Amino acid sequence: MSKILISIMVLVFGLALLLPAAIAQDDSQVILEEITAEDLGLTEEPTVLPTSPVGYFFKNIGRSLQTAFTFNSVKKAELQLKQANERILEAKIVAEREGDNAKTQEVVAKALEKIESLKDKVSQRIEKIQENDSQSADRLLDLVTDREVKHQQLIDNITVKMENLSEERKVRIEEVKERTLEKYSNLLERVDVDGEKIRERLEKVLDRNQDKIDNLKAIPVLERLTDKIQSADIKESLTEAKVNITDRVIEFIQVDPNFEKNDDFEQKLRSMQSVSDQDEGYNLRALNLVKERLEEKVQTAPALRAINTNIERLKEERLQYFKGKLEEAGSDDDRAELLKPLEEGEVGSVEVLEEIRARVQDSNLVEDLKERQEVQIRKLNDRVENLQDGAKAETLRQMIEAKPEVKRVINKESQILDRLKEKAAEGSAVNSSRQEVSPVRPVEKRPEDSSVVDRPASQQTRDQNQRTEKNQIRDELKEELRRDQEIEVRRENMETNAEVVRPLSDRDQNLDRQRLEN
CB 136 within 8 A of CB 129: yes
Residue that wins the pLDDT comparison between 467 and 309: 309
Neighbour count for residue 107 (Cβ, 10 Å): 20
CB 125 within 8 A of CB 71: no
CB 302 within 8 A of CB 361: no
pLDDT in tens, 67-100: 999 999 999 999 999 999 999 999 999 998 887 7
Kindly report the pTM of this predicted structure.
0.74
First-to-final CA distance of the chain? 121
Distances (CA, A) of 175 to 96, 114, 123, 181, 210: 21, 13, 19, 10, 31
242-246, 255-259, 411-415, 500-504: segment of lowest average pLDDT: 500-504
Of 268, 147, 266, which Cα lies nearest the Cα of 208?
147
Neighbour count for residue 350 (Cβ, 10 Å): 25
pLDDT in tens, 232-290: 999 999 999 999 999 999 999 888 778 888 888 888 888 876 777 778 999 999 999 99
pLDDT in tens, 453-471: 343 444 445 555 555 655 5
